Every structure is written in structure tokens, then in C-alpha cells.
């Protein structure tokens, strides 16, 4: 679980890495590998790619054109009008409330009570009395030892599953998402070109490299594109990146 402290000291928790800013003090070792060298911080999160793919979804753009009405109206209530935005606009959207779509609900966190509760969720929570004048290291160790056993005995098998409104599934590689997105964005401009040219364009291979196998590169570009098509078609499922849906005739590159 990754944490993100906001102004006012409120902390949000995410199942996957949120975008970082210059104000974050978390060590670089906890960040995901960037999708490419010198990638801006806001791209170093799967949540950016969810937002970016939404901007490419024709059905969602149509919903925006119609003022947020139609079959995707509920998605529009959450993501808003994404027309005309560039990648660097992501952080403004994120800070304006987008991050609340992906963070874990508050009820999963630690709760500090000013007094003993009248009602208590015995099934899902444990009451602990902590002396505020004691040694913090000893207190934390005792809680970890005692509570750890109770959590193992009572833990829901799905306790680690994300309960965010919109969930990232698996452990997506940002470098793969980046190539899928860039290839999908070329679907109209380069509809008549070869897959090798597409590979040059998105950086899969360099034009100076004469040793690559064209058949291997062609297959790679085709796979990335088909996966991207499936991701777009499944954006309304509440999970990302879902590339499991099999579509017909979705290879625009021949």
C-alpha cells in the first residue's frame, strides 16, 4: 500500500504508486520504474495511463460532446470533460479530485477515538488502549506481535484486494502501457504505414539498428495495438488495464 500526504496532513492510501511531485519525500526506491528515461513524474503511475486512455476513447469523447449524457454518464460524473487536454494537464485533474477515484476508502485506515465508542465493529476491528507516555518502539512492537496473530486468524482472504472505486489490476509495467498508448494514438495518422515504421515512431527499435528481426517487431507492434484496443473497450469496467476482451477486426495496421 502506498501513502500520499496532502496539504492539511490528510493521508490517502493507494494500492499502486500515485504520481509523485517535487514535494514528496518518499525514497526513489519505492517508485515504479519510469516508462522511459527522463519521463516526467506524473507519468510514473498507472493512474496516469488510465486517464490518458480515457482521452483516447471515442465513446467517452462522444459523451463529453453531449454534455456528459448517454450510456457513459456515470463515468463522466467521475472523470469529467477530458476533451482538449494534454498529458501535462493530468496533475491538475488529479489534484482537483481525480485522486479520490483511485484511493482506498477511509474506513480501512486507523481511527483515533476521543473516547470509548458506544458501538464497535467487533468483526472487522480491534480496540487497543495505548499509553501516550510509553516508549513508542515498544508499543509498536507489542501491537505488531499481538495484533498480527489476530489479523492472521481473522483475516479475510481478499483483505489485500483494493476497495477503490476504480482499481488497477495486476502489476502493469509502465513501459508497456506507454508503448500501448503511443501506438494507439497513431491509429489514424499512420493507418497506412508499416508496423516497422510504427516501431521506429514509438521507440521500440531505432532506425540505426539494423540487427532486429522485422517479423518480431511486426508481431510486437500488432500485439501492443490489439491490447490497447481491448484496454479502451474495457475502460468502463472499473478495472485497468483490462486487455482480455477479444475484439474482431481491430488491427488497423493490416
Closest Cα partner for 15 from 231, 140, 170, 235?
A: 170
State residue 32's pLDDT score.
Answer: 79
Decide: 35 and 178 in contact? Cβ < 8 Å: yes
DSSP 119: S
State residue 29's pLDDT score.
Answer: 45
Region of poorest pLDDT, from 85-94, 111-120, 149-158, 217-226:
149-158
Question: pTM of the entire structure?
Answer: 0.78
State residue 88's pLDDT score.
Answer: 96
Q: What is the pLDDT of residues 38-75, one digit of tens each?
A: 999 999 999 999 999 999 999 999 999 999 999 999 99
Region of poorest pLDDT, from 147-151, 193-197, 232-236:
147-151
Q: State how far the Cα of 185 lies from the Cα of 197, in Å rounded to an integer.
A: 14
Q: What is the pLDDT of residues 233-253, one digit of tens each?
A: 999 888 999 988 755 555 544
- pLDDT (mean) for 99-123: 77
Non-local CB neighbours of 205 within 8 Å, separated by 6+ positions: 196, 199, 212, 217
- pLDDT (mean) for 28-39: 78
Region of poorest pLDDT, from 51-65, 86-100, 119-133:
119-133
Q: State how far the Cα of 49 lies from the Cα of 43, in Å rounded to an integer.
A: 7
Q: Bigger pLDDT: 115 or 164?
A: 164
Residue 254 pLDDT > 50: no
Non-local CB neighbours of 60 within 8 Å, separated by 6+ positions: 54, 72, 75, 76, 79, 82, 235
Indicate the pairing of strand 239-240 with strand 2-5.
Answer: unpaired
Q: State how far the Cα of 209 lies from the Cα of 175, in Å rounded to an integer.
A: 20
Closest Cα partner for 165 from 68, 244, 79, 80?
A: 79
Amino acid at each position: 500500500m502506498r501513502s500520499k500526504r496532502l496539504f492539511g496532513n490528510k493521508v490517502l492510501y493507494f494500492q499502486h504508486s500515485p504520481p509523485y511531485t517535487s514535494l514528496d519525500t518518499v525514497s526513489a526506491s519505492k517508485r515504479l520504474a519510469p516508462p522511459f528515461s527522463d519521463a516526467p513524474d506524473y507519468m510514473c503511475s498507472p493512474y496516469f495511463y488510465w486517464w490518458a486512455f480515457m482521452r483516447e476513447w471515442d465513446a467517452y469523447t462522444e459523451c463529453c460532446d453531449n454534455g456528459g449524457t448517454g450510456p457513459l454518464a456515470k463515468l463522466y460524473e467521475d472523470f469529467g470533460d477530458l476533451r482538449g487536454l494534454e498529458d501535462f494537464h493530468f496533475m491538475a485533474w488529479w489534484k482537483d479530485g481525480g485522486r479520490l477515484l483511485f484511493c482506498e476508502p477511509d474506513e480501512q485506515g486507523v481511527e483515533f477515538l476521543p473516547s470509548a465508542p458506544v458501538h464497535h465493529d467487533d468483526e472487522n476491528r480491534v480496540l487497543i488502549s495505548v499509553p501516550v507516555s510509553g516508549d513508542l518502539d515498544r508499543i509498536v512492537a507489542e501491537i505488531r506481535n499481538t495484533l498480527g496473530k489476530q489479523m492472521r486468524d481473522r483475516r479475510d482472504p481478499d483483505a489485500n484486494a483494493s476497495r477503490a472505486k476504480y482499481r488497477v489490476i495486476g502489476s502493469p509495467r509502465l513501459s508497456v502501457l506507454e508503448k500501448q498508448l503511443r501506438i494507439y494514438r497513431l491509429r489514424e495518422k499512420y493507418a497506412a504505414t508499416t508496423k516497422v515504421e510504427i516501431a521506429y515512431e514509438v521507440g521500440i527499435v531505432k532506425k540505426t539498428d539494423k540487427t532486429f528481426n522485422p517479423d518480431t517487431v511486426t508481431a510486437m507492434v500488432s500485439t501492443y495495438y490489439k491490447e490497447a484496443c481491448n484496454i479502451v473497450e474495457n475502460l468502463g469496467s472499473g478495472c485497468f488495464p483490462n486487455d482480455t476482451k477479444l475484439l474482431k477486426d481491430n488491427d488497423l495496421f493490416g
